[in-house]
Copies of this chain bind each other. A is one copy, B any other.
Amino acid sequence: MEWINKRRILIVGLGLMGGSYAKALKRLGYHVSAIDNNEDSINYAKENEIIDAGAVTCDKELISQADTIIFALYPRLIVEWIKDNQMYFKKGIILTDVTGIKNNIVYEIQDVLREDVEFIAAHPMAGRELSGVRNSDDRIFRDANYIVVPTDKNTEEAIEWCKNLGQILGVKKVSVLSPAEHDRMIAYVSQLTHCIAVALMTCNDDSRLSDYTGDSFRDLTRIARINEDMWTELFFMNKDALLEQMNDFINELSTIRDYIKNEDAANLKAKMRLSTQRRKKFDKTL
């Protein structure tokens, strides 16, 4: 499938991620429009030429002109939006998303979708501690992993199209995972780490302690500044995979605590050697 400039891309949800997609795609020459119920976001994006056109309501004309629709909405809103607006879709268009969890939404979206259009899920693993279109930045893709998450319902053509989308956004690496594999991975490398950062920041009420902090505490709590609405929704929608990772981690940390309690140097050092070895290998692949 070719990318022809002046194809019209509609972004639904113009926050940090939607705005970053808009900037990247407009720079590449596409016609980019956006729908967001926040009027300030749409006005700001138009004034700053982040988008070519925009609307705060589900504008039939914008929707019916789109060759591609990218959902950068809170996950639970996507299915409803599609149900309400798919009668306006141009025949044969392709849809994708940016959502951080997949199993709980991809099958549902594909189930409600018109037969003649295709939804191929994607997750650009990029972000910032800030939110909103004013903080959007297409450089966030440079170091990102971009995961294409197909199901049995997807065509090879759509999978290739979606991989290509990641490449033109300028990501570091494009991969393909199933929804279940994706969600298990994200539960470990992203959701568990955010839970740990929050717990570390809230487990000790003595705020004077952080006056003395060094690099390690700073590193482990950087992501403790967290958008509570978005992450709560993402955690609940990936509950089973996340609970499994949290339990594994709590068990592992409890084991290490017991080694310390019993002054079991041999086992404690073995864990530290494994940890060092894995992290070294990991540094090499960065």
CB neighbours (8 Å) of A206 from chain B are: 188
In contact, B204 and A275 (Cβ under 8 angstroms)? no
In contact, A261 and B279 (Cβ under 8 angstroms)? no
A211 located at the interface, meaning its Cβ lies under 8 Å from any Cβ of chain B in the complex: yes
In contact, A219 and B220 (Cβ under 8 angstroms)? yes
When C-beta atoms are compared, the residue in chain B nearest to A268 turns out to be B232
CA of A261 to CA of B235, assembled, Å: 10
Name 8 A/B residue pairs within 8 A (Cβ), A-sorted.
A189-B209, A199-B271, A201-B275, A210-B285, A219-B219, A221-B279, A224-B276, A250-B254
CB neighbours (8 Å) of A260 from chain B are: 195, 235-236, 239, 242-243, 246
CB neighbours (8 Å) of A275 from chain B are: 197-198, 201-202, 224-226
CA of A229 to CA of B272, assembled, Å: 9
Given contacts A125-B212, A200-B249, 10 further A-B contacts (CB under 8 A): A126-B214, A188-B209, A197-B275, A203-B253, A213-B282, A226-B275, A228-B268, A228-B273, A232-B269, A246-B256
Are A200 and B192 also in contact (CB < 8 A) when A214-B145, A219-B219, A243-B260 are? yes
User: Which residues of chain A have a CB within 8 Å of any CB of chain B?
Assistant: 125-127, 143-145, 147, 175, 177, 184-185, 188-190, 192-204, 206-207, 209-226, 228-229, 231-232, 235-236, 239, 242-243, 245-254, 256-257, 260-261, 263, 265, 268-269, 271-276, 278-283, 285-286
When C-beta atoms are compared, the residue in chain B nearest to A204 turns out to be B188
Number of this chain's copies in the complex: 2
Are A286 and B217 also in contact (CB < 8 A) when A204-B248, A243-B261 are? no
In contact, A219 and B222 (Cβ under 8 angstroms)? yes
CA of A82 to CA of B210, assembled, Å: 34
CA of A222 to CA of B275, assembled, Å: 10
CA of A249 to CA of B221, assembled, Å: 13
Q: Name the one of B199, B207, B252, B280 contacting A256, with C-beta atoms under 8 angstroms.
A: B199
CB neighbours (8 Å) of A217 from chain B are: 189-190, 193
Are A263 and B236 also in contact (CB < 8 A) when A190-B217, A275-B201 are? yes
Are A216 and B194 also in contact (CB < 8 A) when A189-B210, A236-B265, A282-B221 are? yes
When C-beta atoms are compared, the residue in chain B nearest to A249 turns out to be B203
In contact, B189 and A216 (Cβ under 8 angstroms)? yes
Q: How far is the CB of A252 from chain B (nearest CB, A)?
A: 4
CB neighbours (8 Å) of A198 from chain B are: 256, 271-272, 275
CA of A235 to CA of B261, assembled, Å: 10
